[in-house]
Structure 1
Amino acid sequence: MKKRTIKKVAVIGSGIMGSGIACHFANIGVEVLLLDIIPNQLTEKEEANGLTLTDKQVRNRIVNTSLQDTLKSKPSPIYHQKFANRITTGNLEDDIHKVKDVDWIIEVVVERLDIKKQVFDNLEKHRTPGTLITSNTSGIPIKFMTEGRSEDFQQHFCGTHFFNPPRYLKLFEIIPGPKTKQEVLDFLNNYGEKFLGKTAVIAKDTPAFIGNRIGIFSIMSLFHTVKEMDLTIEEVDKLTGPVIGRQKSATFRTVDVVGLDTLVHVANGLYENVPNDEQHELFKLPDFIQTMMDNKWLGSKTGQGFYKKVKNTDGQSEIKSLDLNTLAYRDRKSANFATLELTKSIDDVVKRFPVLIKGKDKAGEFYRKNFAALFAYVSHRIPEISNDLYKIDDAMQAGFGWEHGPFQIWDAIGLQEGLKLIEEQGYKVADWVTEMQNNNVKHFYTIKEGNTYYYNISEKKYIKIPGQDAFIILDNIRETNTVFKNTGVAVQDIGDGILNLEFRSKMNSIGSDVLVGINKAIDIAEKNYQGLVVSNNGKNFSVGANIGMIFMLAAEQEYDELNIAVKYFQDTMMRMRYSSIPTIAAPHNMTLGGGCELSLHADKVVAHAETYIGLVEFGVGVIPGGGGSKEMTLRASDSFHAGDVEINKLRDNFLSIGMAKVSTSAYEAYDTGILQKGKDIVVVNKNRQLAIAKKHALLMAENGYTQPVKRSDIKVLGKQALGAFYVGTDQMFAGKYISEHDKKIANKLAYVMAGGDLSENTYVNEQYLLDLEREAFLSLTTERKTLERLQHMLKKGKPLRN
């Protein structure tokens, strides 16, 4: 089999989905040709400018406008705006011939079979034999698309269903056609996982494939349950959000964001195309959904859906909710359930499910109905939509953001308990589950030697889920491989002489227990191991220092104790930097404040592409006090070259902290100086991150890692920098861009990063800067306005401007 590489792709269709897919290929360094139709008439502006339909800018107007609109959207579809230069635009008349030079053609046009067939007719005239060609259809059967196509076309054709937005949703469904070569499927499966950073799932060519078949069933089931149980939309969103490991937007807010019409389109397609589905009638739209469709209440795109933003009498924006009985908008109501209160102390979502189904209130009844319907439904979809149950769980986690898939939830509740729920709610389970129970098999999954095995229905035994050899799964090794733990961390032996340090505190905040854990992990690693990785499975790597502790000590004026705590934080970061073994930080998602400082002090950062990292301490009224201010000063000094205007380099780092800049991807963190080119790396697949971080720790150790020598060559600019920064903060305050307290914090930071009011440029050591940093930090905690900011963050979870 010849080696296949992807250097250039063509994306046909530049709508939201097509442009999003183009951006994600650009994200990973692939050259993209994005094509769309030409306009059939001029705009008023084009006419006024004397343009004609033959002008290139007119002919490419649709594709260029679509791409630019997508690039402006938030959250951004692209890791860095300069990556958009990898995308070339064109139209399907002038530029279609260019597809002969690409390695993969992806069709993303409107969901109509006749139009797709026309596009394929045109593409086949120009496509080079052997080139991959796929459709991003969300439901049209693949077998219909290949009718009349050449043998080579059919052998290299299949469905590749990205979920929207392609950068953020990880599901990548691969749907073979009748003649798709196995090597094509194998290649796409590997490429999707390794290069695109996706959870690749090979699905059967059944209506809506895997993700949407189960996801739309789940939502439609909820729509019917809402009316049956007379629940409000606030109650359903409370019950189906973070408490069960789903997104904050839960059910109805998510539908508003996605668009009710999108959901209805798939539901209608299922109603028409799965007549033998035992839950066929569930895909029929309830009356209230039909009314919303008729009224064009489609969600965010039409300004109202299940929620509606309005201006009140004071001119302030507020959110109204739809009353599903009257279909009128009303004030939002709070939703509270006794059953949910019972789960507040259970941090691990999977341990909540047994508690939720035992609830004696409406919430307990809801979960019993909901899970019984879901469990029964997924049992009947095997082998219809997939032969393997783990693929259904993968699809729901990666495509719909569920923390746990249906079979994982069922395992958490217990096989027997799940069967009891199904029977009590009047559903029937598939025969294979009953057979599994009769054979005394009690779980859908089991863990052996750090790997996950699933129950294979046809072979009637557990089989290892493929692809795990490239991953290290902390959940699978935590019990057997933990060498140290306290309330804040767990330290695991991940093999080959490398340890992993996992934060386990609330929101992975860094308090005294975590700092003790970091020091202990370094002690153990220096004594018996070759290296240390800091990585975890939390939603966020770390939200920073435990500001509750800082607020308490500051409010009680325990400044000596606070000084000791800050010094301990600084000393711990310096141990990360100057240990005798290599240290690797593997951040992902929110990596703020202290989490960022830890990354700054590791020997190397192996960041997930979706890392939002920055020093945000200004928001709570202080400067970075765990070595962050020192480190950004040191990095500025290291960047000074002969002939540079040195103060400009320092100013860049000063502004990164002063403006509390947070990167919107790991690639942007190179711009802010948090990540360093040539040293730190970015990984697109989160599942591979820990294994790659381990490889780098091992490589550094085996190449003869030498404990670094402490720095005493940091050039600080003294009064020269201090004067310039003070003038800048005065101007910002005078222009009302910052408050008086902002100015005070900025001036404290300026003093630290200038190295104090030294009369001339001077070389200093790190401890000198750390002492200045700690002194400035402590002085700010004596300020009333800093206490107000700390308290506001603790209460509201967002910064206060005072």
Structure 2
Amino acid sequence: MSKRRIKKIAIIGSGIMGSGIACHFANIGIDVLLLDIVPRELNAKEKAKGLTLEDKVVRNRLVNEALAASLKSKPSPIYHQSFKNRITTGNLEDDIAKVANVDWIMEVVVERLDIKQQVFEKLEKYRTPGTLITSNTSGIPIKFMSEGRSEDFQRHFCGTHFFNPARYLKLFEIIPGPKTDPSVLEFLNGYGEQFLGKTSVIAKDTPAFIGNRIGIFSIQSLFHAVKDLDLTIEEVDKLSGPVIGRPKSATFRTVDVVGLDTLVHVANGIYDNCPDDERHELFKLPDFINTMMENKWLGSKTKQGFYKKTVNAEGKKEILSLDLNTLEYREKKRAKFATLELTKSIDKVVDRFKVLVKGKDKAGEFYRKSFAALFAYVSNRIPEITDDLYKIDDAMKAGFGWEHGPFQIWDAIGVEAAIEIMKAEGLEPAAWVNDMLASGSSSFYTIKDGATYAYNIPTKTQEKIPGQDAFIILDNIRKSNEVFKNSGVVIEDLGDGILNCEFQSKMNTIGGDVLAGLNKAVDLAEKDFEGLVIGNQGANFSVGANIGMIFMMAVEQEYDELNMAIKYFQDTMMRMRYSAIPTVAAPHGMTLGGGCELSMHADKVVAAAETYIGLVEFGVGVIPGGGGSKEMALRAQDLFHKGDVQLNVLQEHFLTVGMAKVATSAYEAFDMNVLQKGKDVIVVNKDRQIAEAKKHALLMAEAGYSQKPMRNDILVLGKQALGAFMVGTDSMHASRYISEHDQKIANKLAYVMAGGDLSEPTRVSEQYLLDLEREAFLSLCTERKTLERIQHMLTKGKPLRN
């Protein structure tokens, strides 16, 4: 069989979903042809310009407007604005013949079977045999769509369901039609995971597939629980949010973002098409939902849903909540439960479930009711929606942002303990669960030799979940491969002579223990190993240095200790670069301040595409003090060419730090020179990142890695740059763009990046710049306004402008 490659895709339909999918294919380097219908009439602007319906600009208006709106939306659907050049727009009359030259045609038109069938009929006239053809649908049965199409069409046709927004949500459901060739499913499964960076799940052709069937059940079940337990919407959102590893938007805020009409459409689809579902009545919409639909309170898109943003009498913005009993908006109420207080000291979400279901208050009752209902429901969906229990968990984690799927939560509570809770609620699990316990398996999942096994219902044994070989899952190897551990890090042996240093601090902040762990990792690697990866699989790589520690030392005026602590940070960063072994950083998610400095000092960065990286120290009233200010000066000089361009290059790097710029994707970090083209690499699927970083560390080791000497050839511009920067900060302060304290911090940064007030451009060492950086950082820690900024960040979690 010849290898299938995707170089070009045609996306039919440019609505929110179509444009979002087009942007994500552009993100991974694919040429996209985005087509939509031709407008039926001119708009006012076109009439004023004297255009006709025959003009190209009119004919492509709908598709161009939709794509432009998508590119402006926040968060952005595209990794880098230049990638939009990979998308060509057109319309379904003039440009449909171009689908003959693509490798994949994806239909993303309105959710109506008749319209989809008409589109397929048109496409078949131009489609080249053998071309993949898929429908992005959230619930129309795939078997109806390809009726009447040719044999070749039906063999290459299936459903591919992306979740919105396509760039950020990882679930990619693949739904076979009656005649889909197995090799097509196999290809899409691998492509989704490797190239699109998704969690691919092959589902059965049942209403709402896997993700929405379970997700909508879960939301509907909470809608009913609100009334039964007399809870407010704030209380439900508090109970169903981060405390159980769900997104901050929890339940009702999520519905507002997605749109109530979308949810109702899917729920009605399940109600109408699943008459034999044992919880059929649960999909019936409660009265308050029907009223909200009539009132067009659909959420964010209509400016009000379960929550409503308003401006009060004093002109302050506030958010009101809907009272479900009176259906009137009121001030938000704080939600507090004794059971939740008990979990505050439990960092790992998975360890909280046991405590939550034992709660003696309304929260405990809520968890027992909702988990019992969820467990019974998911156990009964096998084999209806899938044969494999892990696919249900994968779908909920990737499509709804749950940290743990239903069967993982069930395992965390204990399979038998959860069955007792179900029985107390008048529910029973499916028969296969009792068979599993009888067969000697006491859990749905087990870990063996670093791999995850799941219970297989037909064979009644634990079987290895396929597709793991491309991944290294730190949770699975931490215990068995641990080489060293302190309160800040765990160092694991990844095999083949490569170590991994994994942060374990709160939000992966970098404090004394983490720095000690990093030094220990370099010691161990230099002595007995080939290379070192610094990577973790937390929500974020690292939000930066432990500013609480800096604050305490500064308040107590322990300046000698603080000086030592900053020097220890700098020395550790320099060790990353100048050790005898290759070091590879694997940043993802928030990589701020010290996390960014660490990445910049590794020999190589293997970044996840979704890396939000930057030097943000200005927000807490200091300059980067872990080598970041030095490094930006060094990277600027490496780009210097002859003449006055030098100052411009340095100024760009100065502004990157001074404006605390954060890249919204790893690709944007190249523009900031925080990641370096030709050296650092990007991985779209975060699950592959540690394995990929290990590969690069090995390659460098095998190529004969040798320790480099520290640099002493860095050209600094001295007074010439310092003067120019100070004039700039002066005018920014005069025009009230920055505060007096902002100016003070900026001038300290200018002094470091200019290399001090040297009378002429001079070559200096890295240590010279590090000493300037440390001095500037220390002096800022003696400022009252800096301490106010740090305290504000520690207590409020956001920067203070003072």
State the TM-score, normalized to the length of structure 2. 1.00
Range with bigger deviation, 698-707 or 632-641 = 632-641
Letter in 1 for 2:129: P
Could you tell me which residue of structure 2 aligns to residue 533 of structure 1? 533
Give the superposition deviation at 1:643.
4.2
- 2:182 is aligned with what amino acid? Q
Q: Is the 8 A contact 2:376 2:422 kept in 1?
A: yes
Within a 5 Å distance, the mapping from 1:521-600 to structure 2 comes to: 521-600=521-600
CA offset digits 1:662-709 (Å, max 9, x no partner): 000000000011000000000000010000000000000000001111
Residue 400 of structure 2 corresponds to residue 384 of structure 1: no
Matched residue count: 802
Query: SS at the partner of 2:491?
Result: strand
Partner of 2:473: 473
Q: Percent identity?
A: 77
Matched, 1:225 2:225: yes
Kindly provide the amino acid, as one letter, of the partner of residue 297 in structure 2: W
1:519-546: per-residue Cα shift (whole Å, max 9, x none)?
A: 0010001000000001001111000000
Residues of 1 paired with 2:649 and 2:310: CA distance?
46
**Deviation of residue 472 (structure 1)?**
0.3
Partner of 1:393: 393
Q: Report whether the alignment pairs 1:768 with 2:768.
A: yes
Tell me how far 1:641 sits from its aligned partner.
Answer: 2.0
> 2: distance between equivalents of 1:461 and 1:557?
62
Paired AA for residue 756 in structure 1: G
Q: Residue 706 of structure 1 corresponds to which residue in structure 2?
A: 706
| Equivalent position of 1:329 in the other structure | 329
What is the distance in 1 between the residues matched to 2:594 and 2:269? 49
**In 1, Cα distance between equivalents of 2:440 and 2:472:** 30
Cα pair 2:439 2:460 within 8 Å, conserved = no
Structure 2 unaligned segments of length 5 or more: list them: none
Separation (CA, whole Å) in 2 of partners of 1:122 and 1:683: 37
Using the TM superposition, give the Cα deviation of residue 435 of structure 1 relative to its aligned residue in structure 2, in angstroms: 1.0
Could you tell me which residue of structure 2 aligns to residue 520 of structure 1?
520
Q: 5+ residue gaps in structure 1?
A: none
Aligned match of 1:133: 133
Whether the 8 Å CA contact 2:238–2:250 is kept in 1: the answer is yes
SS at match of 2:391: helix
Aligned-pair distance for 1:440?
2.6
For the residues of structure 1 that align with 2:9 and 2:422, how far apart are their CA atoms?
A: 47
* 1:629 counterpart = 2:629: yes
> In 1, Cα distance between the equivalents of 2:43 and 2:750?
53
- Mapped to 1, the partners of 2:253 and 2:201 lie a distance apart of 27
Residue 678 of structure 1 aligns to a residue whose secondary structure is: coil
Counterpart position of 1:422:
422
Displacement of 1:514 in angstroms is 0.4
Q: Which residue of 2 aligns with 1:667?
A: 667
CA distance in 2, matches of 1:537, 1:523: 23
State the match for 1:603 in structure 2.
603
Q: CA deviation at 1:429?
A: 1.3
Residue matched to 1:236: 236
Task: Indicate the residue corresponding to 2:6 in structure 1.
Answer: 6
What is the deviation of 1:3? 1.0
User: Residues 145-184 of structure 1: matches in 2 within 5 Å?
Assistant: 145-184=145-184
Cα distance in 2 for partners of 1:205, 1:310 equals: 43
1:644-723 correspondence runs (5 A):
645-723=645-723
Q: Look up the match of 1:301.
A: 301
The separation in 2 between residues aligned to 1:643 and 1:33, in whole angstroms, is 44
Distance 2:316 2:642 in 1: 54
Instruction: Determine the structure 1 residue equivalent to 2:193.
Output: 193
Q: Which residue of 2 aligns with 1:216?
A: 216
Contact 2:739 2:801 in 1 (8 A): yes
Distance 1:200 1:537 in 2: 19
Aligned residues: CA RMSD: 0.5
State the alpha-carbon separation in 2 of the partners of residues 360 and 330 from structure 1.
29
Q: Matched residues in 1 for 2:736 and 2:708: separation?
A: 45
Superposition deviation, residue 782 in structure 1:
0.6
What residue identity is the alignment partner of 2:216?
I
State the match for 1:85 in structure 2.
85
Report the Cα offset of residue 556 of structure 1: 1.1
Corresponding residue for residue 144 of structure 2: 144
For 2:487, the equivalent position in structure 1 comes to: 487
AA at the equivalent of 2:455: Y
* Cα distance between partner residues in 2 of 1:5 and 1:309: 47
Shift of 1:334: 0.4
Amino acid at match of 2:519: N
**Per-residue CA shift, 1:288-328, capped at 9, x if unaligned?**
11111111110000010000011111111100000011110
SS state at 1:298 partner: coil
SS in 2 for 1:480: coil
Query: Take 1:358 and 1:307, find their aligned partners in 2: how far apart are those partners?
Result: 31
Give the partner amino acid of 1:462: Q
Q: Deviations over 1:18-43 (max 9, x none)?
A: 00000000000000000000000000
Tell me, in whole angstroms, the C-alpha distance in 2 between the residues paired with 1:286 and 1:190: 41
Q: Which residue of 2 aligns with 1:510?
A: 510
Shift of 1:644: 5.7
Residues in 1 aligned to 2:510 and 2:148: alpha-carbon distance in whole angstroms: 62
Alpha-carbon separation, structure 2, partners of 1:54 and 1:421:
67
Distance in 2, Cα, partners of 1:429 & 1:577: 55
Matches within 5 A, 1:725-736: 725-736=725-736
Q: Distance in 2 between matches of 1:356 and 1:409?
A: 11
Q: CA deviation at 1:428?
A: 2.0
> Which residue is equivalent to 1:19?
19
Counterpart-to-counterpart distance in 1, 2:314 and 2:548: 34
* Other-structure match for 2:40: 40
Q: Is the 8 A contact 2:789 2:800 kept in 1?
A: yes
1:600 partner SS: helix
SS across alignment from 2:34: strand
Aligned partners of 1:701 and 1:221: how far apart in 2? 54
One-letter amino acid of the structure 2 residue matched with residue 201 of structure 1: V
Q: Deviations over 1:227-286 (max 9, x none)?
A: 000000010000010000000010010110000110000000000000000000000000
Q: How does 1:105-116 map to 2 (within 5 A)?
A: 105-116=105-116
Deviation sequence 1:621-670 (CA, Å, 0-9, x none):
00000000000001011111234610111011100000000000000000
- For residues 68-127 of structure 1, the C-alpha deviation after alignment (integer angstroms, 9 at most, x for no partner) is 000000000000000000000000000000000000000000000000000000000000
Q: What letter is aligned with 2:423?
A: E
Partner deviation per Cα, 1:577-623 (whole Å, 9 max, x = no partner): 10100000000000000000000000000000000000000000000
Show CA shifts across 1:538-582 (max 9, x none): 111000000001111111111111001000000000000101000
**In 1, Cα distance between equivalents of 2:266 and 2:655:** 48
CA distance in 1, matches of 2:322, 2:239: 17
Alpha-carbon spacing, 1:644–1:159, altered in 2? closer, same or farther (3 Å): farther
Distance in 1 (alpha carbons) for counterparts of 2:435 and 2:678: 56
Letter paired with 2:755 = G
Look up the SS of the partner of 1:513 in the other structure.
helix
Quote how far apart the aligned CAs of 1:418 are.
1.1
Q: Specify the code of the residue in structure 1 equivalent to 2:454.
A: Y
In the aligned structure 1, how far is the partner of 2:644 from the partner of 2:664? Answer: 29
Q: Alpha-carbon deviation of 1:15?
A: 0.1
2:373 matched to which residue of 1?
373
- The answer to which of 410-419 and 436-445 deviates more is 436-445
The correspondence of residues 273-312 of structure 1 with structure 2, limited to 5 A, is: 273-312=273-312
1:157-187 per-position Cα deviation (integer Å, ceiling 9, x unaligned)? 0000000000000000000000000110000
Cα separation, 1, equivalents of 2:414 and 2:140: 37
CA distance in 1, matches of 2:16, 2:484: 48
